[in-house]
Each structure stands twice: as structure tokens, then as C-alpha cells.
């Protein structure tokens, strides 16, 4: 039996910003047999504050064909010296020092090899974090469709393009995807053009003019039926396998109503250029909120009869809510993941409350309580955690999701509806297309309510545990009252409060 590796728990800061990623231009095609991506990346960068003469890019298990500084005007490109640390990080020496009022461009030609990454000597890589996935028929499932899709969160976008793979980077994006003409493609932003090539392939050019974090980049490629819907003047599309074309609206059809409801409730309109949702095979999670191009696991594909047993509004609402909490305002580090996930989980509650009523929403929240309490028997952590070993393994749990959603619900109850949504709107507007940490959220609530809320955030976001209560009562029939005795029994603190109820 292999020894279980116990990693030390260490302080996990936000990545120090030395160079800022401004724009990412990608040109990709594929070798399906080898499961390779053949890519060219042109990155526009700018020193964050201090002058720089070097640049580090995450690029996991690539073959690098060329790495050049892009010449300005008529100047030719210049090859740059670099070392490739553990086949994971390119440490690049620039041609000179750059100041913060200057930008520069790096062009990288490469082949990304996600399967080789799985055999990386560090042992850190496996199916769930190799970033780029080739799906095809196999002996177990000869009818499996051909698909390519990506999964970037948390550090896996750099498995298919060179980048600064951290949530506190934001970049605009262009990508040209070349595939056999029979396949549809999906990426972030808008499809600007499709060009037929002489070799029978087609090149789709997607552009997102609004900045977002590298972990939210995506591609989905396959034989899809694309069902077109609409919200205001933006496209809302559903990508399903052709046999599910007839039920796509039954699966995803509440999306335009959700867009209206969330835009109004949050006081900030859905900010992106389109909204597409695609189902992919063998996905590593339930879904992923890639900006304007959410991917879902195949269990969403159900026919109308199966949908009579219930819909998937919870997961659809969750991913859509991320487009404000996560995609528009991004946690500055994974320690603050709850700023993405607690809100997305609470988005499910808000949709249920709006669409199906308070009872349905409360029942959903009660399920969340049970999920958290069950996990709490195994581990108890602060919702915001700067100390952990591995973001993927440690943070995506019932603390960040279900407990965090319930704490937001409690905060709403404490400050009142009007203050709650005013504070959230203030937080969203102040940090749009930027990042935030938990203190930014607290400050927005303090600004709106006028109250110092350190006590609340310290207790519920920054400390672990929850109240453990013994509740008993005595009825005094002669005096006509009942004494309800609530005793907190958790180890950290003890207090008794007695409430009388006539």
C-alpha cells in the first residue's frame, strides 16, 4: 500500500503581482490521436508597479517551439532566453527593463500535452487537474461522442496555454479554434467569424472584450445541437448532444428569467457579452462557471419525461450567479474562494425563493445545513482559510459552499433585506472586473449599515465551528408561561440565554 502523503498546512498568500496580464491572443488546433493541442499564444503584459526585466509564465508540460518578444512596428520578433522550471514554469529574461507605463508582448509557439502531465515526476497531476480533455469512443463505450473541453479552476488553464495562472490576474481574450468542419465550438465572449479552410477545417474566432481571470477561459468542441434563446439583446444558447435538442429548453429554459431576476435583485445587470451553457461528457465536476460559457456534466441531459421528476435549476442558478460572484468580482486568492462559492450557493436559495416560494427555498437551505453538519463531524475550518495544503483538495467543501451560503442568509436576516442587497450592490460595483477579499465585503456592509461588523465576520467567516445547542423547556401552568432554556455547549465558549414565551 502506498504511504499517504501528508502535506504541511501553510499560509497561502495571494500571488505577488509583478507583471500584469493585459491581453491573451490564442490560436489553437488539435492532434486527436496524440491528445495534443498545437498552439500559438501572444500575451500582452505590463509591469504591475516596479520595473521588470524578467517574466514568469505558468505553462505545464509543453514542448516549446519558439518564445519571442514581439517586435514593435516594423521591428522583427526577438527570441528570448528562458529556462523551463520542472516543465511547469517558464522563467523568461526580457531584452531590457520595462517600466509600469510600458507594455510588451510575448509570442509562444508550443504543443500542450496534458497526458504527459499526468506522468509528471511531481505526482501532482491526475485526471481532475490536467486542464484539457479529449473525449472519444472506447471499448467500454463505443458510442461515446468525440469532444474536447477544458477545466481551468484552480491552476489548470496553464495546462493548455501559457499564462499567469492566478485568480488575481485579469485579461481580455481572443481565441481562434481550428477544428474539422463537422464540429461546433464554444469559447468565452462572442463568435466573431467562422472561416472555412482549404484543408476542410474551419477556424472559429471568439473574442471577449471584457477582462476575466485565466481560470475562467474555456473551450468546448463537439457535435452539438445549438438551441438559441435570448435575454434582452444578448444571445443565450444551449449546447446539447443532438438527441437532447428537443428537451434543451425544458432543461435550460428558465435561464432568461434567472438573468432578469438576478440582474434586478443585485442591482447590477448581467455584465457579459452572451450566455451559453454546454453539456460535456466525463466532466470532472457538476459544472464550471467559465465566463459566458458554462460547462455542465452529462447528467443534465434528460428528456422531458425524466424532467418530470424535477429540474436542475439549482445548479443552473448556481453557475449563473457566479457570473457576478467569481467572474465579475473574483476572489483575489483561493483562500477567499468562499466569495465565489458561498454566493453561488446562496444564488440557488434566491432563485428558489423567487420562483418556487419561501418554503421550497428554506427546504433547500435545510439540506445545505445537513450537508455542512455532516462534514463538520470530520473537519471544522474557518470559511475563509489562509492556511491549507492544497486548494483543490481542501477548499471545495461544504464550508465554502453550504455553510458560507447559510452565513450569508443569516447576515441578510441580521441587517435586513434592503441593507443586504444595497451592500451587495455596492460590493459588486466597487470591484467589477477586479478582485476582492473578505474584508472588502465586510466594508461594504459596514458602509451601508453604519455598524462595525468585525464581530460578525470574525465569528462566522474567520473562525471555525458553529453553535451546539441544548434546548429544553419547563412549563409552569400555574403562572402561565413556558421557560425555554437554550444552552450553548460547544467547547470554545459557553453561554446561557433564557427566553420566556407566553
Residues that bind Zn ion (CB under 5 A): 341, 344
Q: CB of 346: closest distance to Zn ion in angstroms?
A: 11
Instruction: Kindly compute the dihedral angle of the four CA atoms of residues 351, 274, 206, 283, in this order, to the nearest 10 degrees.
Output: 20
Q: CB of 442: closest distance to Zn ion in angstroms?
A: 22
Q: CB of 318: closest distance to Zn ion in angstroms?
A: 5
Can you say whether residue 87 is alpha, beta or left, with left for phi > 0 and alpha for psi between -120 and 50 degrees? Answer: left
CB-wise, 58 or 341, nearer to Zn ion?
341
CB-wise, 57 or 424, nearer to Zn ion?
424
CB-wise, 344 or 453, nearer to Zn ion?
344
CA distance 313 to 356: 11
What angle is formed at CA 294 by the lines to CA 61 and CA 211, rounded to 5 degrees? 70
CA distance 132 to 324: 25
Q: Please list, residue by residue across 96-115, b when 16 or more beta carbons sit within 10 angstroms of its beta carbon and e when fewer do.
A: eebeeeeebbbbbbbbbbbe
CB-wise, 312 or 341, nearer to Zn ion?
341
CB-wise, 69 or 344, nearer to Zn ion?
344
CA distance 247 to 43: 41
Write out the three cell numbers for 244: 437532447
Cβ 435 vs Cβ 168: under 8 Å: yes
Q: CB of 494: closest distance to Zn ion in angstroms?
A: 36
Helix (H, G, I), strand (E, B) or coil at 227: strand
CB-wise, 344 or 391, nearer to Zn ion?
344
Q: CB of 78: closest distance to Zn ion in angstroms?
A: 42
Q: CB of 337: closest distance to Zn ion in angstroms?
A: 9
CA distance 298 to 240: 9
Closest residue to Zn ion, based on beta-carbon distance? 344
What angle is formed at CA 343 by the lines to CA 249 and CA 288, rounded to 5 degrees? 50
Write out the three cell numbers for 271: 455584465
Q: CB of 344: closest distance to Zn ion in angstroms?
A: 4
CB-wise, 128 or 304, nearer to Zn ion?
128
Amino acid at each position: 500500500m502506498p504511504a499517504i502523503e501528508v502535506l504541511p498546512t501553510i499560509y497561502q498568500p495571494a500571488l505577488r503581482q509583478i507583471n500584469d496580464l493585459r491581453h491573451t491572443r490564442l490560436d489553437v488546433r488539435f492532434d486527436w490521436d496524440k491528445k495534443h493541442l498545437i498552439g500559438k499564444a501572444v500575451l500582452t503584459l505590463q509591469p504591475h508597479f516596479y520595473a521588470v526585466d524578467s517574466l514568469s509564465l505558468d505553462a505545464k508540460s509543453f514542448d516549446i517551439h519558439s518564445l519571442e518578444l514581439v517586435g514593435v512596428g516594423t521591428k522583427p520578433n526577438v527570441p528570448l532566453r528562458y529556462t523551463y522550471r520542472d516543465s511547469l514554469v517558464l522563467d523568461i529574461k526580457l531584452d531590457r527593463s520595462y517600466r509600469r507605463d510600458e507594455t510588451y508582448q510575448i509570442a509562444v509557439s508550443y504543443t500542450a500535452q496534458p497526458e504527459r502531465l499526468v506522468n509528471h515526476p511531481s505526482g501532482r497531476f491526475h485526471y481532475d487537474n490536467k486542464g484539457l480533455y479529449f473525449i472519444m469512443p472506447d471499448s467500454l463505450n463505443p458510442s461515446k461522442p468525440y469532444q474536447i473541453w477544458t477545466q481551468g479552476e484552480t491552476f489548470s488553464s496553464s495546462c493548455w496555454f501559457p499564462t499567469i495562472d492566478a485568480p488575481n490576474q485579469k485579461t481580455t481574450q481572443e481565441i481562434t479554434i481550428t477544428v474539422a468542419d463537422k464540429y461546433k465550438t464554444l469559447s468565452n465572449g462572442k463568435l466573431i467569424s467562422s472561416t472555412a479552410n482549404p484543408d476542410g477545417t474551419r477556424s472559429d474566432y471568439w473574442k471577449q472584450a471584457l477582462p476575466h481571470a485565466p481560470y475562467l477561459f474555456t473551450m468546448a468542441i463537439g457535435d452539438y445541437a445549438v438551441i438559441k434563446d435570448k435575454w434582452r439583446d444578448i444571445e443565450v444558447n444551449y449546447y446539447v448532444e443532438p438527441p437532447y435538442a428537443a428537451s434543451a429548453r425544458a432543461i435550460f429554459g428558465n435561464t432568461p428569467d434567472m438573468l432578469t431576476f438576478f440582474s434586478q435583485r443585485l442591482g447590477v445587470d448581467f455584465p457579459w457579452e452572451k450566455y451559453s451553457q454546454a453539456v460535456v461528457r466525463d466532466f470532472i465536476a457538476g459544472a464550471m462557471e467559465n465566463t459566458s460559457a458554462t460547462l455542465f456534466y452529462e447528467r443534465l441531459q434528460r428528456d422531458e419525461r425524466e424532467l418530470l421528476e424535477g429540474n436542475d435549476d439549482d445548479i443552473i442558478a448556481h453557475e449563473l450567479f457566479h457570473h457576478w460572484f467569481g467572474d465579475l468580482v473574483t476572489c483575489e486568492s483561493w483562500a477567499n474562494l468562499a466569495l465565489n462559492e458561498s454566493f453561488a450557493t446562496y444564488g440557488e436559495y434566491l432563485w428558489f425563493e423567487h420562483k418556487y416560494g419561501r418554503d421550497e427555498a428554506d427546504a433547500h437551505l435545510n439540506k445545505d445545513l445537513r450537508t455542512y453538519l455532516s462534514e463538520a463531524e470530520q473537519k471544522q475550518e474557518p470559511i475563509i482559510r489562509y492556511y491549507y495544503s492544497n486548494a483543490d483538495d481542501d477548499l471545495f467543501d461544504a464550508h465554502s459552499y453550504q455553510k458560507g451560503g447559510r452565513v450569508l442568509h443569516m447576515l441578510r436576516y441580521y441587517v435586513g433585506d434592503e441593507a443586504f442587497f444595497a451592500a451587495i450592490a455596492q460590493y459588486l460595483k466597487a470591484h467589477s472586473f477586479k478582485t476582492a477579499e473578505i474584508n472588502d465585503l465586510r466594508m461594504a456592509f459596514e458602509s451601508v449599515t453604519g455598524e462595525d461588523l468585525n464581530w460578525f465576520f470574525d465569528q462566522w467567516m474567520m473562525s471555525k465551528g458553529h453553535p451546539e445547542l441544548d434546548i429544553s423547556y419547563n412549563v409552569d401552568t400555574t403562572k402561565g408561561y413556558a421557560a425555554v432554556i437554550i444552552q450553548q455547549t460547544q467547547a470554545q465558549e459557553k453561554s446561557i440565554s433564557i427566553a420566556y414565551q407566553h
